[in-house]
């Protein structure tokens, strides 16, 4: 059980009054809650929060969040406390960081026996430390972390540079909180995949997410609202307005980033949320594949279009059904991005040329890529050009799925035989 002490009283490394920070909202999440959730995600399963008696009740309410499953104890100024374990992690209440940073720090100090403090490349110290019990008990008495930086300890304090995530020591002023918000939003935007997502879609989604995060809308609510816009693409294609249909899909694609950005800012990422987002996306695409051939048929009046369109819908439904099955059986995720884990089950030496070619085309299957492509095709060639490329794309992905199914079935047979 990994234990961490949260300092919500006393003084920090730079003599900050740590009692000022736990109840400060940082991007609509109270600082103590943000710290606890990130630390638990990094592997901490037991917290002891040092606090003042006058703030204990309010801090208890903050910690009583269903997202936090770790054991939490509170120790006030008049309570008896003596730390007995060999060491513990100590976190200042004004530390702004992400779970990846805390996790990297924990893993990097796993085999170290000395005192260690988190630093950046400039050796600036941040409020995450690993301390021996003698210094923890001393800290409990004087309540001043800055004494460690001055060398007032029998144990030397080693610096540990961590590059993952982000880190900042908050100050109780608006300038510091504004900077913290910028750091958080700049990092949630880094999850974008591909040039279009970073340089086009992200430039629209992030400003909108900054406004949406101030509302009571949950990421799941936003996913459903986005789906309404995405579903409109199908009816517009069917009514002979391919450009408007493509614009609806592109808008939905841009907004599709907002639910994930807000979930990461508010620390509300859940597996259920992944499934809501994924299912919403697929309903939009199903609307597209149904409406597209109808619109093309009304324009060209050729029955083969309906036949090909029906095959495309079948291919798409088959692809989604298998993908969902794979996610449920082979992964612990509700995001279609995790479908790429299928490669882990297939021997690279036995990969066919067809599979290698399809894998090469995989980036084209990203929503931010094909929605932009359909918009360009709709403007240049109308519904016909969109129909041709959509048919080629879904056919390739259907072949991709068939090979995955065959490969995985052979693996199962070998396991049963062995």
In a domain, 31, yes or no: yes
pLDDT at 200: 79
Q: Is the domain of 68 the same as that of 157?
A: yes
Residue where one domain finishes, among candidates 122, 138, 169: 169
How many other C-beta atoms lie within 10 A of the C-beta of residue 135?
23
Least confident of 181-195, 251-265, 380-394: 181-195
DSSP state letters, 99-133: HHHHHHHHHHTTT--SEEEEE-TT--EEEEEEEEH
Mean pLDDT of 286-301: 95
Element containing residue 183 per DSSP (H, E): helix 174-188
Q: Is the domain of 112 the same as that of 213?
A: no
Q: Is the domain of 248 the same as that of 143?
A: no
Task: Name the residue range of residue 245's domain.
Answer: 192-417
Work out the percent of the chain whose per-residue pLDDT is above 90. Answer: 56
Phi and psi based region of residue 165 (left: phi greater than 0; alpha: psi -120 to 50; beta: remaining)? left
Residue where one domain finishes, among candidates 135, 169, 203: 169
CATH code of the domain covering residue 66: 3.90.550.10
Listed in sequence order, the residues at least 6 apart from 29 whose beta carbon sits closer than 8 Å to its beta carbon are: 265, 266, 267
Structure tokens at 137: 């008990």
Q: Is the pLDDT of residue 193 over 70?
A: no
Q: Is the domain of 197 the same as that of 321?
A: yes
In a domain, 185, yes or no: no
- pTM comes to 0.85
Listed in sequence order, the residues at least 6 apart from 187 whose beta carbon sits closer than 8 Å to its beta carbon are: 98, 165, 166
Q: Is the pLDDT of residue 276 over 70?
A: yes
Nearest to 60 by CA among 46, 45, 75: 75
Q: Is the domain of 149 the same as that of 248?
A: no
In a domain, 119, yes or no: yes
In a domain, 357, yes or no: yes
* Dist. CA 13–CA 40, nearest whole Å: 23
Kindly list the distances between the CA atom of residue 29 and the CA atoms of 62, 72, 107, 162, 253, in Å, as whole numbers in the listed order.
10, 19, 27, 24, 27
Q: Is the domain of 151 the same as that of 218?
A: no
In a domain, 175, yes or no: no
In a domain, 183, yes or no: no
Q: Is the domain of 212 the same as that of 141?
A: no
Mean pLDDT of 14-18: 92
DSSP 173: S
Element containing residue 377 per DSSP (H, E): helix 367-417
Sign of CA dihedral 34, 40, 42, 47: positive
Task: Judge whether 1 and 42 are in contact, CB under 8 Å.
Answer: no
Q: Is the domain of 202 the same as that of 154?
A: no
Task: Give 87-112 pLDDT, tens digit per residue.
Answer: 889 999 999 999 999 999 999 998 88
* 413: confidence class by pLDDT, cuts 50, 70, 90: low
Q: Is the domain of 164 the same as that of 203?
A: no
* 350: confidence class by pLDDT, cuts 50, 70, 90: low
* Dist. CA 95–CA 167, nearest whole Å: 7
In a domain, 180, yes or no: no
* Dist. CA 242–CA 226, nearest whole Å: 19
In a domain, 182, yes or no: no
CATH code of the domain covering residue 308: 1.20.120.1760
Least confident of 52-61, 102-111, 321-330, 364-373: 364-373
Task: Give 377-393 pLDDT, tens digit per residue.
Answer: 999 999 999 999 999 98
Work out the percent of the chain whose per-residue pLDDT is above 70. Answer: 92
- HSE-CB at 32 with a 13 A cutoff on CA atoms is 27
Q: Is the domain of 18 the same as that of 156?
A: yes
Q: Is the domain of 368 the same as that of 307?
A: yes
Rounded to the nearest integer, the mean pLDDT of the chain is 88
pLDDT at 334: 87
Domain count, the chain: 2
Structure tokens at 67: 């997202």
Q: Is the domain of 90 the same as that of 226?
A: no
Structure tokens at 88: 């513990």
- Which ranges of 189-333 would DSSP assign to H, the alpha helix? 195-196, 202-212, 219-231, 233-238, 242-265, 271-300, 303-330
Least confident of 148-152, 253-257, 284-288, 298-302: 148-152
Locus of tokens 């400003």: 207
Residue where one domain finishes, among candidates 169, 203, 229: 169
């Amino acid at each position: 059980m990994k234990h961490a002490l949260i300092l919500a009283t006393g003084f920090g490394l730079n003599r900050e009054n740590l009692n000022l920070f736990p109840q400060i909202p940082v991007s609509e999440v109270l600082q103590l809650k943000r710290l606890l959730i990130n630390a638990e995600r990094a592997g901490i399963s037991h917290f002891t929060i040092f606090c003042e008696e006058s703030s204990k009740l309010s801090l208890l309410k903050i910690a009583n969040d269903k997202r936090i499953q770790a054991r939490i104890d509170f120790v006030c100024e008049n309570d008896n406390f003596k730390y007995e374990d060999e060491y513990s992690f100590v976190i200042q209440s004004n530390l702004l960081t992400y779970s990846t940073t805390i996790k990297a720090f924990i893993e990097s100090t796993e085999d170290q026996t000395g005192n260690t403090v988190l630093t950046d490349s400039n050796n600036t110290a941040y409020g995450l430390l690993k301390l021996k019990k003698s210094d923890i008990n001393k800290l409990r008495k004087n309540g001043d972390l800055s004494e460690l930086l001055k060398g007032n300890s029998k144990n030397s304090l080693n610096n540990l540079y961590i590059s993952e995530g982000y880190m900042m020591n908050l100050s109780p002023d608006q300038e510091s909180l504004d900077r913290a918000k910028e750091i958080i939003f700049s990092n949630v935007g880094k999850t974008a995949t591909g040039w279009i997502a970073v340089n086009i879609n992200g430039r629209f989604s992030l400003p909108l997410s900054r406004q949406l995060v101030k509302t009571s809308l949950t990421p799941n609510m936003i996913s459903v609202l986005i789906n309404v816009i995405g579903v409109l693409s199908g009816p517009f294609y069917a009514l002979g307005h391919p450009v408007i249909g493509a614009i609806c899909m592109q808008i939905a694609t841009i907004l599709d980033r907002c639910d994930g950005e807000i979930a990461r800012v508010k620390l509300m990422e859940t597996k259920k949320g992944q499934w809501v987002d994924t299912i919403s996306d697929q309903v939009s695409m199903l609307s597209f594949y149904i409406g597209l051939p109808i619109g093309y048929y009304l324009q060209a009046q050729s029955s083969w279009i309906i036949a090909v369109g029906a095959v495309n819908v079948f291919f798409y439904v088959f692809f989604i059904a298998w993908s969902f099955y794979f996610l449920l059986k082979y992964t612990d995720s509700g995001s279609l991005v995790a479908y790429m884990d299928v490669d882990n089950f297939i021997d690279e030496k036995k990969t066919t040329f067809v599979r290698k070619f399809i894998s090469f085309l995989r980036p084209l299957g990203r929503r931010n890529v094909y929605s932009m492509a359909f918009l360009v095709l709709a403007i240049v060639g109308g519904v016909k050009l969109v129909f041709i490329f959509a048919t080629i794309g879904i056919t390739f992905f259907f072949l991709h799925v068939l090979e995955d199914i065959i490969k995985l079935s052979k693996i199962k047979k070998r396991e049963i035989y062995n």
